[in-house]
Structure 1
Amino acid sequence: MDMLRLVKTSSEQKEHVLALLKEWQEDGSNIVPTTINKDTSDFDAYVKRLRDAEDREKIEDGWVPSTTYWLTDGEELLGAANIRHELNAHLLNFGGHIGYGIKPSVRGRGLATKQLGLALEKAKELGIERALITCNQTNIASKHVILRNGGVPDEPFIEADGTVVERFWIELKG
């Protein structure tokens, strides 16, 4: 796991990104972060959309700048993380600063814990001093990942449909 790192999206990753998305789709589980679950038929446009999201001038109203990274061991893509550079009212309750996911075939190996740790380092580089991470109350694995990375529970948010979203803060100062 020492070789794990986060890398930004590039056109050279096409086969690896498509393989990762295909595995997730075949598994039937939610693709997280949702930023990667977009049309890839024009892969260069897919890459451009992900990279443009980092620039406030190029994002849609109501969105915040964000950076998408892929978790890799140097050979394959294992998951993805999306770091929102700031929070809006929606993200304060649901989504937080970082969304992350590990592809189905490699879950349960501690990769998400390492991935979130790496994403927190990137968030700190962006100037985020206190990161909000959220997960549905039913997502026990994600809750443990957040807690292992120093998450301190805050008041949960209850969505209109009754879904309870747990909220955790992680200090990044120092």
Structure 2
Amino acid sequence: MSLKLVKPTTSLQDAYMDFYQEWVNSGEEIIPSALRKDPTNFEALVQGLIDTEEGVGLPEGYVPATTRWLVDEKYKILGACNIRHDLTGPLLETGGHVGYGVRPSERGNGHATFMLKETLKFLKALEVPRALVTSNDDNEASMRVIEKCGGMQGLPFTEEDGNVVRRFWIDLRD
């Protein structure tokens, strides 16, 4: 299977809607959070992702972030990742540099590992010396992916609701 990360584009609307609907039907929260917006106005959704990458119109406290969709050779969207170019206080605690998710029917096929490796290359090109990648304490699969990609566990962060966020650092320096 040939995989690649692509920029969001309106030409993939049908593929995206299929991806999005699978998440909704699963009852799970859509990951990464950048994709939780209602896709009814698809053109606006795509433009919003492009604007966020370029740092246009960001709300107070937000940083530029690049979203990419993971597609196969038929341009079926298998997953998505969101790469934050910098870290704010809240991102240092729970968000990290990278958020990624694989649609429920495609999990267990190495897609998350592929996406994380590619996002680390992107962050290295941005001259980020160490990437922070986080996972909820109950997401064993994600923690294995992070460790497989060189993640070294740092101090966890406990959110107000008691959720424990595991924080992993990945050195990007040569």
Q: TM-score of the superposition, structure 1-length normalised? A: 0.96
Aligned runs of 1:81-160 on 2, under 5 Å?
A: 81-160=81-160
Alpha-carbon distance between aligned partners in 1 of 2:40 and 2:106, rounded to the nearest angstrom: 26
Aligned residues: 173
Alpha-carbon distance between aligned partners in 1 of 2:56 and 2:27, rounded to the nearest angstrom: 35
**Given residue 78 of structure 1, which amino acid in structure 2 is its aligned partner?**
L
Cα RMSD (Å) of the superposition? 1.0
1:164 aligns with 2:161: no
Alpha-carbon distance between aligned partners in 2 of 1:124 and 1:33, rounded to the nearest angstrom: 20
Cα displacement (A) at 1:108: 1.1
Instruction: Report SS of the residue matched to 1:54.
Output: helix
Alpha-carbon distance between aligned partners in 1 of 2:110 and 2:11, rounded to the nearest angstrom: 27
Equivalent residue, structure 2, for 1:71: 70
Structure 1 gap segments, 5+ residues each: none
Q: TM-score of the superposition, structure 2-length normalised? A: 0.96
Cα displacement (A) at 1:148: 0.4
1:58 aligns with 2:57: yes
**Given residue 170 of structure 2, which amino acid in structure 1 is its aligned partner?**
I
Alpha-carbon distance between aligned partners in 2 of 1:38 and 1:117, rounded to the nearest angstrom: 26
Deviation readout 1:43-98 (Å, 9 max, x if unpaired): 11111001000123421111111000001112111000000000000000101000
Deviation readout 1:111-141 (Å, 9 max, x if unpaired): 1111111111112122222100000111101
Cα displacement (A) at 1:8: 0.9
Alpha-carbon distance between aligned partners in 1 of 2:56 and 2:19, rounded to the nearest angstrom: 30
Instruction: Report SS of the residue matched to 2:22.
Output: helix
Structure 2 gap segments, 5+ residues each: none
| Equivalent pair of 1:5/1:118 in contact (CA under 8 Å) | no
**Given residue 91 of structure 2, which amino acid in structure 1 is its aligned partner?**
L
